[in-house]
Structure 1
């Protein structure tokens, strides 16, 4: 018995160039490649840059809160913070309020690095070829996509109503 071929429209769903996840993956890799070049002079990797962005914006934070901002678990975040500490950009200190909690604080050198990093987002924005309005719209759409996918994952998780 031979299988009936899937209709063309259905078969197209499995084409790589029709996968939104792959388009996002490719764009992410392209961003990472450009960030690698732009961050080299700052001595940061892209994930380290993200940690620094949160600390420049929020100030001192417990590792747990830092991970929430970055959507990273402590197993991924801790090595990043340790490397930033070894570079003299942050300090890790036990919280005086809760000994179980470790706070991440910028050093003077880490705070000063912010000035040198100001050019990075400008160069990234210019590289996209988008105007500021288009960048804002894209970010809003991606944020909405993230929220929708998070909600769908919760619904699909075993044991969810």
Structure 2
């Protein structure tokens, strides 16, 4: 026999500091602050680090692709790419083979810097979920993905 559990319609808490959105923003701000702190020691910002991680996984991404994936505007993405290029961490051709996109790739220095900083960033994430059971982390990831999907469309 399948019994369904009655569900009540969602109602936000009376105290705004207990709303899902507020707590998500608080967690995001805490994560950003912790990441800013460790990345500063390596001369990187969060968008720069995210760009290096993405380019390690997907060499040749365009500015538009990177901007979307790092949640910044195209203009901001271009500023990030220029900074990384000036620092010798990425390389882009002077002209595009097709269209206007200039595919970016990590340089050897970019790969080295990324490898050096990854352990520090991953330690932040480990600290963030310390004490949580692995199954709860898996559920949290699924819930966060569901939240993003629900709001994206």
2:145 pairs with 1:143: yes
Higher helix share: 1
Structure 2 CA distance for partners of 1:39 and 1:133, relative to 1, 3 Å: farther
- Name the counterpart of 1:154: none
Instruction: Report which stretch shifted further, 48-57 or 34-43.
Output: 34-43
Aligned CA-pair RMSD: 2.1
Q: Classify the secondary structure of the residue corresponding to 1:43.
A: coil
Map 1:39-50 → 2, pairs under 5 A: 39-50=39-50
Task: Give the alignment's TM-score, normalised by structure 2.
Answer: 0.79
- Name the counterpart of 2:6: none
Whole-angstrom distance in 2 between the partners of 1:117 and 1:64: 25
Whole-angstrom distance in 2 between the partners of 1:148 and 1:135: 20
Higher strand share: 1
Aligned length: 140
- Name the counterpart of 1:62: 62
Structure 2 CA distance for partners of 1:132 and 1:81, relative to 1, 3 Å: farther
Whole-angstrom distance in 1 between the partners of 2:145 and 2:117: 24
Runs of at least 4 residues off by over 6 Å? none
- Name the counterpart of 2:97: 96
1:77 Cα shift?
A: 0.9
- Name the counterpart of 1:79: 79
Q: Which of the two has higher C-alpha Rg?
A: 1
Gaps of 5+ in 2: 1-10
Gaps of 5+ in 1: 1-9, 152-161
Structure 2 CA distance for partners of 1:21 and 1:85, relative to 1, 3 Å: same
The answer to which structure, 1 or 2, has the higher relative contact order (CA under 8 A, 6+ apart) is 2
Whole-angstrom distance in 2 between the partners of 1:136 and 1:120: 22
Task: Give the alignment's TM-score, normalised by structure 1.
Answer: 0.75
- Name the counterpart of 2:15: 15
